[in-house]
């Protein structure tokens, strides 16, 4: 366990440090801003791009230092394949403490979600569903989520398999970098980067918005996608890599006949992760969204800002239900399709 | 004739240096034995093309095989296990050895033919996961027949089999080697297998092959 703690601590710290939607929604003024919210304010409210870049560089530097420090400690030993539960029994006080921690964590996680559902149901969906902008935002969310998920599906296996198949260390490092780099790059910082590129190319941000949001969401989901798909792909390469190579299987034939039937459920889980990640994104859309291009999270944020908290609650409940359905349904759907294709 | 001359390899700057030289004739089995860690797998990977030697040659009837990647080398592999894809049927596994462009009808006919040749009539539609160890090795051999490659590389192919099945599969390998004219290279540390099959034998020790 000890070797895992620095990496785990770094991830938790980074997730909190780069928190954007929660701080943005809860507000509290400049005194309670995080760097991410300050970057957002600099771009959208003050249009101070120089200031925004300065803040972004500070953000990236802190994240990079944290990751380097965590990496410099004892390397994490990764174990691929299914984990085996220890067979010893903990003492009663230890068991009670574990149950208490689990209970607190479950309550802490479930209570906000339950209150979203309850408030949303009580507020009633009728008013929100009657707004044309809701349906347009829903369609946009579904389109962006699907496109991001598909792009992630193309990138994650390509990076993982390319890395597994390469014997050259620099190539392995290069192909492995996107998998963890975007853990250190917060959504708003990545969006700012795209914003500056688009501006420098002379393209209006509103025009570039759909493409940028899809690409950015896909990149941000990549670490999680690789973490989901990586171990089973690695295991497959270890077990049958030589056979696959000697038979000359490659490309579509290799994917459809070998990888997809074995990885259907994992692919479904990866798609669900990427889709839900994009569905709930506020960090990227916050910089690129407009009145004509908005997703459900942005619509919810605007409703909150306009003191239409009932509408915001209804939209949040719809988002939550959509996320749960996607997260539970997609892996099962893909597992079924994989079984049918065998 | 398959001939390797001073195939040199090392895993690192201060690591053991391997220097392999051997000959293998068509239609016969050449065995390579050695203790665990002696470099048998390294030699296997060098012949198959999964590792690139620092120097040396690997010639098949005058053609240098070293520039060829594994998928285009004229060889087939038979490993100790994981020779098949468990989710595919025997027919589909064997069918992976068909040349591109083979029609469905022709492919079906040829698959049935080679499965019968290895004594597996009637199991074509069974999923590989349901086959016994011996049946799986036969299916893998059937696929090898379809591929028409000149070299068969065996890496401890009988280790996971019981004694009776082992003898049967061994006999099948010997028979197919002779009838198909394969240059069969058997990498193994089992004396019984070597004694039963090998026409020529090398011992691997300290990174070198010595005729035995």
- What would the pLDDT profile of A96-123 be if each residue is shown by its tens digit? 998 999 998 888 888 888 887 787 777 7
pLDDT at site B171: 92
How near does any CA of chain A get to the CA of B34, in Å? 22
Which neighbouring-strand residues pair with B23? B3
In the prediction, which pLDDT does A72 show? 66
- The SS3 of residue A111 is helix
Chain B residues in contact with A243 by the CB 8 A cut-off are 77, 79, 82-83
Residue B127 DSSP label: B
Predicted TM-score (pTM) of the model is 0.71
Helix/strand/coil for B146: helix
> Model confidence at B205, in pLDDT bands (50, 70, 90)?
confident
Give A247-287 pLDDT, tens digit per residue: 888 777 777 777 778 788 888 888 998 999 898 888 888 88
What is chain A's mean pLDDT, rounded? 81
Give CA–CA dist B35/B25, Å, rounded. Answer: 24
DSSP β-bridge partners for residue B7: B20
Mean pLDDT of B125-144: 92
Mark yes or no for CB contact A258/B76 under 8 Å.
Answer: no
ipTM: 0.88
List the structure tokens of B95: 């069918």
Instruction: Report the residue from B82, B92, B97 with minimal CB separation from A240.
Output: B82
A248 chain-B contacts, CB cut-off 8 A:
71-72
What is the Cα–Cα distance from A69 to A76, expressed in whole angstroms? 13
Q: In whole angstroms, give the CA distance from residue A173 to residue A235.
A: 19
- Return phi, psi of residue A88, to 5°: -90, 155
pLDDT band at A159; cut points 50, 70, 90: confident
Mean pLDDT computed over A37-56: 83
Asked if pLDDT for residue A29 goes beyond 80, the answer is: no
Report the pLDDT averaged over residues A30-52. 79
User: Is the confidence at residue A245, as pLDDT, over 90?
Assistant: no
Closest Cα of chain B to A232: distance in Å? 15
Length of chain A: 342
Torsion of CA B150, B131, A247, B154, to 10 degrees: -40
Indicate if the pLDDT at residue A77 is higher than 60.
Answer: no
DSSP assignment, residue B188?
-
In 3D, which of A177, A173, A188 has the Cα closest to residue A155? A177
Chain B CB contacts of A342 below 8 Å: 87-88, 127
């Amino acid at each position: 366990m000890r070797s895992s703690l620095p990496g785990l601590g770094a991830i938790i710290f980074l997730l909190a440090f780069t928190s954007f939607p929660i701080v943005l929604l809860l507000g509290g003024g400049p005194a309670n801003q995080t760097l991410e919210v300050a970057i957002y304010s600099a771009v959208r409210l003050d249009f101070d791009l120089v200031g925004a870049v300065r803040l972004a560089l500070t953000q990236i530097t802190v994240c990079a230092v944290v990751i380097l420090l965590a990496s410099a400690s004892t390397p994490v030993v990764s174990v691929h394949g299914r984990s085996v539960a220890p067979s010893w029994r903990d003492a009663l006080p230890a068991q009670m403490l574990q149950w208490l921690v689990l209970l607190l964590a479950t309550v802490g996680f479930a209570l906000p979600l339950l209150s979203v559902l309850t408030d949303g149901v009580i507020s009633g969906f009728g008013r929100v569903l009657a707004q044309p902008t809701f349906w347009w935002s829903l369609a946009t969310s579904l389109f962006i989520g699907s496109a991001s998920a598909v792009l992630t599906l193309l990138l994650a296996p390509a990076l993982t398999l390319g890395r597994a198949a390469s014997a050259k260390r620099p190539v392995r490092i290069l192909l492995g970098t996107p998998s963890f780099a975007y853990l250190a790059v917060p959504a708003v910082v990545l969006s700012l980067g795209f914003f500056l590129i688009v501006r420098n190319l002379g393209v209006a941000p509103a025009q570039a918005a759909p493409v940028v949001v899809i690409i950015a969401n896909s990149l941000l989901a990549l670490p999680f996608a690789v973490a989901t798909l990586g171990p089973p792909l690695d295991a497959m390469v270890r077990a049958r890599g030589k056979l696959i190579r000697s038979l000359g299987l490659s490309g579509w034939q290799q994917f459809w006949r070998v990888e997809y039937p074995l990885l259907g459920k994992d692919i479904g889980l990866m798609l669900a992760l990427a889709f839900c990640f994009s569905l709930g994104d506020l960090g990227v859309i916050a910089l690129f969204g407009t009145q004509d291009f908005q997703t459900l999270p942005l619509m919810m944020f605007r409703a909150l800002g306009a003191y239409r908290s009932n509408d915001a609650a209804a939209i949040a409940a719809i988002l939550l239900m959509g996320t749960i359905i996607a997260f539970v349904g997609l892996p099962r759907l893909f597992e079924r399709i994989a079984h049918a294709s065998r | 004739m398959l001939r390797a001359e001073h195939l040199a390899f090392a895993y690192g700057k201060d690591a053991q240096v391997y220097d392999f030289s051997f000959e293998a004739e068509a239609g016969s089995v050449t065995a390579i034995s050695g203790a665990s860690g002696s470099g048998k797998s390294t030699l296997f990977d060098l012949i198959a093309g999964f590792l690139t030697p620092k120097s040396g040659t690997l010639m098949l009837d005058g053609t240098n095989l070293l520039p060829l990647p594994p998928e285009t080398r004229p060889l087939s592999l038979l490993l100790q296990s994981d020779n098949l894809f468990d989710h595919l049927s025997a027919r589909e596994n064997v069918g992976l050895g068909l040349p591109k462009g083979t029609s469905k009808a022709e492919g079906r006919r040829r698959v049935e033919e080679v499965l019968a040749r290895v004594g597996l009539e009637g199991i074509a539609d069974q999923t590989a996961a349901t086959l016994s160890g011996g049946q799986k090795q036969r299916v893998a051999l059937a696929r090898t027949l379809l591929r028409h490659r000149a070299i068969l590389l065996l890496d401890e192919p009988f280790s996971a089999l019981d004694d009776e099945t082992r003898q049967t599969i061994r006999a099948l390998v010997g028979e197919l080697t002779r009838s198909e004219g394969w240059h069969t290279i058997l990498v193994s540390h089992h004396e019984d297998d070597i004694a039963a099959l090998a026409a020529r034998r090398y011992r691997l020790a300290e990174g070198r092959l010595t005729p035995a």
